[in-house]
Amino acid sequence: MKTVIAVCFSVIASLLFNYAVFLNKKAVATLPEVGFHSSFSTVKAFLSNKLILAMIVLSLVGSGFYVVAIALAPISVVQPIVGSGVVLLAYLAIKNLGESPRKVDYFAIGMNVLGVVLLGASLAEGIPEKVKHSPETLWILAAVIVGLAILIPAFARGSSAGRLGASLGVTVGLLYGIGAVFSRLMLVDWTNRWSSQGLTVLFSSIFLLAWAASFFPAVVVLQAALQKGLAVVVVPVLAGISQLVPIFVGMVALNEPFPKNIALSVIRVLGFCLILTGSVTLSRRAEEAAPHT
């Protein structure tokens, strides 16, 4: 019964997340452009926009359903369902936003969705309940990921708006991904220190600062990505990368082993390859695409 409830909650969370992004995409077309020199008036315009406020509410509600789903069922059940919801966004974008993907774009979107599903399936053996991370490896890897998040769109500057949007989508995916790692470590840190420090532990974890430093910039960059690129390009890219990063970091820095089952190992590698190939394909095709607003 718990699994059935978890599946239902995962579906609801996925629908809410992707409809929220659809509203976000609709909103950014009428809002000031987000850039390095955005003013307070830009922030005010975003926070006073009804679609943006609706997006925030839907995202928060979706997060609630997602947390409950994760509590009731393994991530290998929940994550593929949530990740595959990008199909709804693709439908809404094509029907309501005037976006026109080509055949190769559909193929690349399919690779990203399938890759997310396979990564979720590869977690069928579960993940260790006790998290034992290597601090040096974690912070070095986090620095590399953040560095890539900065460099990738920097190299895309001067190219087409579509390709810049896809590059910003990669940045969002990298930041969301490492943020997910920090959020897990934050929860573990809170649990370990709660009995001795009580409520003060909620605000004294280095992982809370690390999570905030990755999550909030990602939200801002997402606005710029949706302004520059097609939603059907940007979102599959960030969705795939944001799922790939936590699993990769988990294996390298959190002592989460590769699956013992050979079939699951093959599935995980295939999932990695599909996400990377789909993301690169969408990014390269974005050079020829321009968003319709």
Span 189-214, pLDDT tens digits: 887 777 777 777 777 788 889 999 99
Domain boundaries, the chain: 2-288
Mean pLDDT (the chain) is 81
pLDDT of residue 258: 74
pLDDT of residue 3: 66
pLDDT of residue 147: 96
User: Is a pLDDT exceeding 80 seen at residue 149?
Assistant: yes
pTM over 0.85: no
Distance between CA atoms of 137 and 118, rounded to whole angstroms? Answer: 26
Separation in Å, CA 252 to CA 59, 67, 145, 248, 282: 30, 25, 13, 6, 27
Q: Do the beta carbons of residue 181 and residue 250 sit within 8 Å?
A: yes
- Among 117-121, 129-133, 163-167, 234-238, the minimum mean pLDDT is found in 129-133
pLDDT digits (tens, 9 = 90+) for 233-270: 788 888 888 878 887 888 788 777 777 888 888 988 89
Q: Which residue has the higher pLDDT, 21 or 192?
A: 21
Distance between CA atoms of 182 and 167, rounded to whole angstroms? Answer: 23
Q: Going by C-beta distance under 8 Å and a sequence separation of 6 or more, which residues neighbour residue 118?
A: 267, 268, 270, 271, 274
pLDDT of residue 289: 46
Of residues 176, 149, 153, 171, the one with CA closest to residue 163 = 153
User: Is a pLDDT exceeding 90 seen at residue 54?
Assistant: yes
Q: Do the beta carbons of residue 133 and residue 254 sit within 8 Å?
A: yes
pLDDT band at residue 293 using 50, 70 and 90 as cut-offs: very low
pLDDT digits (tens, 9 = 90+) for 88-115: 777 777 777 777 667 777 788 788 778 8
pLDDT digits (tens, 9 = 90+) for 150-165: 999 888 877 777 788 8
Q: Going by C-beta distance under 8 Å and a sequence separation of 6 or more, which residues neighbour residue 154?
A: none
